Amino acid sequence: MTIPTADALPGPLTALTEDERLLRNSVREFAEAQIRPLVREMDEHAKIPRSLIDRLFDLGVMGVEIPDAFGGGGGTFFHSVLVVEELSRVDPSVGVLVDVQNTLVINAVLRWGSQELKARLLPALASKQVGAYALSEAGSGSDAFALTTRAREDGDSFVIDGRKLWITNGNEADFFIVFATVNPEAGYRGITAFIVERGMAGFSVGKKEDKLGIRASSTCELLLESCRVPKSAVLGEVGKGYKVAIETLNEGRIGIGAQMLGLAVGALEHTIKYTKERRQFGKSIADFQGVQFQIARAATDIEAARLLIYNAARLRDARQPFLTEAAMCKIFSSEVAERTASLAVNLYGGYGFVKDYPVEKLYRDAKIGQIYEGTSNLQLQTIAKNLMS
Ligand SMILES: Cc1cc2nc3c(=O)[nH]c(=O)nc-3n(C[C@H](O)[C@H](O)[C@H](O)COP(=O)(O)OP(=O)(O)OC[C@H]3O[C@@H](n4cnc5c(N)ncnc54)[C@H](O)[C@@H]3O)c2cc1C
């Protein structure tokens, strides 16, 4: 047996290439300078200002994987994951806006869009227009393919009727990937993905939800009332929308893992700083071993979450199977985010419970990680199914 030389060995998962490091640093700098000062106000007003979204476009993070030829960053999925992690370290609401744009919307258009759709949508998504991904309905969440939004063929169009619920970026989006069935009797084989554009007759954005956390991220109802779209608006093939949904969500949940990782990193950074400053019994509370051990455990959790996420993202970029790893990274990171934010509140004491300090918000923001893009039970179902089949 020949022992491989060091440069023939795979690199450590967390070692970043030059490109990755530069991207992470520039997003971190941006988040500190441009997002940090707005976090509290955005949470209170439940809104991300358009001027900040424009700056995200200027930074190049709204079209990470869009090829250069369409005006995007020509990056990898791992690049998107780094961006979402860094933005969420400062504000998980901005993190999810960018995450949905990249890991769901752009991902689906890149993979399933016709040449015509790509030529029309990708330059817009890279430069100024926000996308949203509309699968869920009031009666179908975990059982997503029980959706009832109906698309009827009519000449060279489809006419869509139905309501979508919980749609992230609903307020900001110009394009919506809307899932509807062309044949309810065919079950999941009737599901079809359509591009619906803001301003189309019969389409409107309804009520915005008033939420526990990620309050600045808009979550809206969509109403489709005899909304006519041309046949060229079908994303992928008629009856293959279930594949579009499953395959994008499989990847998207790695992005949610990254959102939760960023949140946990942010919460731990606040905690370390605060515990060094806060004095009780004549010394910093960070000097108590009981506190140090809690911080050490949180840092260990975060490292494990990061390894799961980076591995899932790098597997995806290497076109290797990643389904189980993606489900594991989402469930684990969302639990780590909740635990770390909870510890942060505990170690801030009474100050952790009030809005003048940042960790109360992160504690509220953490909860969503266990709900959207497949609840924790659904992730466990995926992991178990893959193990037992
Ligand atoms: C803030 C926010 C943003 C969102 N953004 C989007 C978006 O952009 N696009 C979109 O399409 N959707 C979005 N969603 C919807 C989200 O994906 C759903 O809420 C989620 O999939 C859960 O569906 P549900 O709410 O209907 O819960 P249900 O499916 O009713 O689940 C309720 C509970 O039952 C459990 N459960 C259900 N089935 C099983 C089972 N088979 N075995 C064990 N346990 C089970 C679940 O784990 C959960 O704990 C968003 C939701 C929120 C809250």
pLDDT tens per residue across span 303-353: 999 999 999 999 999 999 999 999 999 999 999 999 999 999 999 999 999
* Amino acid at residue number 325: E
Residues 6+ apart with CB under 8 A from 19: 75, 79
CA of 217 from ligand 1 middle (Å) equals 17
Which residues belong to the active site? 373
Is a pLDDT exceeding 90 seen at residue 386?
yes
Which residues, other chains included, contact 228 with Cβ-Cβ below 8 Å and sequence gap of 6+?
154, 157, 158, 159, 160, 200, 201, 202
Confidence band, pLDDT 50/70/90 cuts, at residue 9: confident
Judge whether 271 and 345 are in contact, CB under 8 Å.
Answer: no
Ligand 1: distance of its center to the CA of 375 in Å?
6
What is the pTM (predicted TM-score) of this model? 0.97
Residue nearest to atom 31 of ligand 1 (CA): 142
Instruction: Supply the pLDDT for residue 352.
Output: 98
**Distance from the CA of 181 to the center of ligand 1, in angstroms?**
19
Question: Whose C-alpha lies nearest to ligand 1, atom 35?
Answer: 377
